[in-house]
Structure 1
Amino acid sequence: MTTHEAAPEIKSEGGGFAALSDTFDEFMTTFAEFREANDRRLREIETRKGADTVTSDKVDRISEALDRQKQLLDNLALKRVRPALGRDDALSVAGAERKQAFDAYLRSGDEHALRSIETKDMSYGSGPDGGYLVPDEVEAEIGRRLAVISPIRSIASVRQVSSAVLKKPFMTSGPVVGWVGETAARPKTTSPVLDALQFPTAEIYAMPAATPSLLDDSVVDLDQWIVGEVESAFAEQEGTAFVSGDGSDKPRGFLDYDQEPEASWAWEKIGYIATGVDGAFAASHPSDKLIDTIYALKAGYRQNANWVMNRKTQAAIRKMKDADGNYLWQPPAVPGGRAVLMGFPVVEAEDMPDIAPDATAIAFGDFQRGYLVVDRAGVRVLRDPYSAKPYVLFYITKRVGGGVQDFNAIKLVKFGVA
């Protein structure tokens, strides 16, 4: 079996720029094979009134390999952008003191030094709050990594607050204005009507476990260990909530809001464009609905717009061409970059629904203006050496909220008749 007939080999994940460059080259080679196989499939459809089964299976296998290679490429790129946490010599005296006290608490449960520091700073975190605040550099590192690996967070606006709820005012009606002559009287304008969007924060937690030998090993950087343990757990939970969360003890996802056909769209609802076919694109000119979705956004929002969909939906769109025979989906231009669809970046969010009847499997918009992520300052750690002996559990919590802040900025593609 030749390389064109089998799915391309996926090399094991390594580190360094060489591995990233090699993986990117393999990805581009696979995409070239995919285009060749899909072109053959389309020619067979035109000439035979249907594609050969062997050719269709081959296209699907290469498409799946392309997805796996893209995921590997993303993981390698993610490793390269992870900076190491600062060492004690790079910290201030107070920061170094707190880091040393926090390290003692993690390793042995000795909380006396940490208790005195938090009492002095009037930020004592035990009791009803449960645990101690992690050092500032650890909290900042968690935030940086979440911004990279959490799909919606990476394109949304993020605001840090100290309260449990953020209230964001907006005008439901602007002031009345008009034209007047140079010496004409100026009639009084009516005052704007204000309302407020509320973004409550909810607690998200992770509970990694450590062995006593790990905690006794002075070479192990426990700050890095904590960040590495919680980043994936937090990102996975956030990703689901930002897309489809119901707002009850979690952020409210943009798919949870009422949806309305774009022709009758109103504020506090998300507009959508229907494909006209239940659970599929139209058989002829399927990309027309994608174009309609792009221009459903006002010009000011299109400049910073992104597509949001999962890998299965991308696989379906990857086979589409425009009237000139060019593929609508294009691979990243550089390692670690994003694929492009019709000139706009594609953000992979696995929590987006698959293509199905009446599913809104594609979102498009300026999420920086459209969706707001609210982080309450402070990440807490509570050490628990009793519940899972001989392991030591670390109950790590942070508070996060989210919701749509501008309903003009996000549009959906609905796979339905209307």
Structure 2
Amino acid sequence: MTLVQHTHIELKEADPVEPDQIVTKALADFQQAVEDRLKAVEAKSADNAALVGRLDKIEAKVSRPFVANAPSIVTPDENVERKAFVNYLRSGRVEEKTLAYAPPSTGGILAPDQTAKTIIERIAEFSPVRGFASTISMSGPLLQLPRLVNEVQVGEVGETDDRPESEPSFEQIDLKPFEMAVIVPVTRVLLEDSQIDLEAYIAAHVARRFGQKEAGWFVKGNGTTQAEGVMNSDEIGTVEAGTDAVTATDIIDTFYAIASGYSSTGSWLMNRSTMAAVRKLTDAQGSYLWQASIAAGTPPTLMGRPVYEAVDMDGPDAGKSPIIFGDFASGYLIGDRVGISTLRDEYTGASNGIVKFHVRRRVGGRVVLGEALTKLTLKA
């Protein structure tokens, strides 16, 4: 028998670990894992929030209503020019590289193109004739326009007959601009308040005053120191009323006094008193000639054509001409002499804390096609 000797191996246990340490470590590892997971989720949420914000901005821009004639993009040059203009209004300091001077004799500053356009658009809200007449920009003190006098005459001919000759003839008419101006007083406190949109304030004030002046010129201007008014032109036709008051017959006669090509696109112009009188008129069947507006922002109609109020028109009194009708776009031309000049006056109102802005512009107007318009004159 063989004896096998076994070597005795002693196993030594590791250092004992307390149970509470095991639990504490496990909890710490779990907490760290949770925190790491939360950070990852928050990072994704932040990215999503930024994306949502960008989408909201895009949607807001797309949803904005379209404004006719409004610039879709404001270029950096326009921004610089507008900022320089507002800085001039507030401080009187001029950036020669940015702002354009008016003629040397005036010493003024020309308003930026966008500001000038805004003012002219707002003027149309106060001057109804500008709203539907034709307009043109003038670059000089006089605009000469050719006007057709005699049209080409067409004759009937046989197969071998001689063809008649016919040549149109023209005359030349002149359109001159006349100056209008307004003083806009602003307190120094208002100028110093950076929260005030000074450019908008000036534009609104100027548009209101220029619009009121224009409305008078385009209706009753004398044509010598003012634009020629439609009611003072000898070229437009006249319908003589049978009585000293407006009747339904007068309205019908006035409507049909001009060619259908003009009446189909024509507009009525009268003051508020005349509107009240005309609104009561009825035809033989008792139906009112006047039709109220069918939607907000649209004018009422008379004989199917729009009616506009002009405060400078005569009232429905004996011997007066209270109504004019026709195609103003064909019959009346407004000439805008480009440039709205602003001069800052810090001295004449200094004792009262007032800074005055002298704003001027030049505009002309005249009847260019009398056959497109006609007026109603009441019996004296």
Q: TM-score range by the shorter chain?
A: 0.7 to 0.9
Q: Distance in 2 between matches of 1:305 and 1:406?
A: 13
Aligned to 2:28: none
Q: Deviations over 1:144-164 (max 9, x none)?
A: 112233111111111112112
Question: Counterpart amino acid of 1:383?
Answer: R
Q: Distance in 1 between matches of 2:329 and 2:318?
A: 29
Q: Distance in 2 between matches of 1:414 and 1:387?
A: 47
Aligned to 2:93: 110
Question: Counterpart amino acid of 2:378?
Answer: F
Q: Deviations over 1:45-97 (max 9, x none)?
A: xxxxxxxxxxxxxxxxxxxxxxxxxxxxxxxxxxx9999998xx952122122
Q: Percent same amino acid at aligned positions? A: 35
Q: Distance in 1 between matches of 2:161 and 2:342?
A: 66
Question: Counterpart amino acid of 1:280?
Answer: A
Aligned to 1:195: 171
Question: Counterpart amino acid of 2:368?
Answer: Q
Alignment of 1:350-361 (within 5 A): 350-361=311-322
Q: Distance in 2 between matches of 1:164 and 1:203?
A: 11
- Which of 356, 365, 368 lines up with 1:405 in the alignment? 368
- Which of 236, 246, 266 lines up with 1:305 in the alignment? 266
- The alignment covers a number of residue pairs equal to 314
Q: Distance in 1 between matches of 2:283 and 2:102?
A: 58
Q: Distance in 1 between matches of 2:67 and 2:91?
A: 28
Question: Is 1:280 the equivalent of 2:280?
Answer: no
Question: Counterpart amino acid of 1:355?
Answer: P
Q: What are structure 1's unaligned runs of at least 5 residues?
A: 1-79, 259-268
Q: Distance in 2 between matches of 1:399 and 1:239?
A: 14
Provide TM-score, normalisation by structure 1.
0.71
Aligned to 2:293: 332
Q: Distance in 1 between matches of 2:375 and 2:142?
A: 28
Question: Does the CA contact (< 8 Å) of 1:385 and 1:391 recur in 2?
Answer: yes
Aligned to 2:200: 224
Q: How far 1:181 sits from its partner (Å)?
A: 3.5
Aligned to 1:164: 141
Question: Counterpart amino acid of 1:270?
Answer: I
Q: Deviations over 1:4-54 (max 9, x none)?
A: xxxxxxxxxxxxxxxxxxxxxxxxxxxxxxxxxxxxxxxxxxxxxxxxxxx
Question: Counterpart amino acid of 2:136?
Answer: R
Question: Counterpart amino acid of 1:341?
Answer: L
Question: Does the CA contact (< 8 Å) of 2:125 and 2:211 recur in 1?
Answer: no
Q: Distance in 1 between matches of 2:107 and 2:135?
A: 25
Question: Does the CA contact (< 8 Å) of 2:179 and 2:361 recur in 1?
Answer: yes
Q: Distance in 1 between matches of 2:68 and 2:198?
A: 15
Q: How far 1:105 sits from its partner (Å)?
A: 0.8
Aligned to 2:276: 315
- In structure 2, the CA distance between the partners of 1:320 and 1:373, relative to structure 1 (3 Å rule), is same
- In structure 2, the CA distance between the partners of 1:255 and 1:84, relative to structure 1 (3 Å rule), is closer
Q: Distance in 1 between matches of 2:66 and 2:269?
A: 22
Q: Distance in 2 between matches of 1:84 and 1:230?
A: 20
Q: Distance in 2 between matches of 1:130 and 1:253?
A: 31
Aligned to 2:378: 415
Alignment of 1:23-34 (within 5 A): none
Question: Counterpart amino acid of 1:410?
Answer: L
Question: Counterpart amino acid of 2:316?
Answer: I
Report the secondary structure of 1:226's partner residue: helix
Alignment of 1:18-57 (within 5 A): none
Q: Distance in 2 between matches of 1:103 and 1:82?
A: 24
Q: How far 1:174 sits from its partner (Å)?
A: 2.5
Q: Distance in 2 between matches of 1:252 and 1:350?
A: 17
Q: How far 1:317 sits from its partner (Å)?
A: 1.4
RMSD: 2.3
- In structure 2, the CA distance between the partners of 1:83 and 1:222, relative to structure 1 (3 Å rule), is farther
Question: Does the CA contact (< 8 Å) of 2:255 and 2:303 recur in 1?
Answer: no
Q: How far 1:213 sits from its partner (Å)?
A: 1.1
Question: Is 1:345 the equivalent of 2:322?
Answer: no
Q: What are structure 2's unaligned runs of at least 5 residues?
A: 1-64
Question: Counterpart amino acid of 1:156?
Answer: A
Provide TM-score, normalisation by structure 2.
0.78
Q: Distance in 1 between matches of 2:162 and 2:373?
A: 42
Aligned to 1:14: none
Aligned to 2:31: none
Aligned to 2:42: none
Report the secondary structure of 1:408's partner residue: helix
Aligned to 2:216: 240
Alignment of 1:259-270 (within 5 A): 269-270=235-236
Report the secondary structure of 2:322's partner residue: strand
Question: Counterpart amino acid of 2:271?
Answer: N
Aligned to 1:146: 123
- In structure 2, the CA distance between the partners of 1:210 and 1:172, relative to structure 1 (3 Å rule), is same
Q: Distance in 2 between matches of 1:405 and 1:95?
A: 36
- Which of 384, 388, 394 lines up with 2:357 in the alignment? 394
Question: Does the CA contact (< 8 Å) of 2:221 and 2:229 recur in 1?
Answer: yes
Question: Is 1:92 the equivalent of 2:57?
Answer: no
Q: Distance in 2 between matches of 1:298 and 1:347?
A: 21
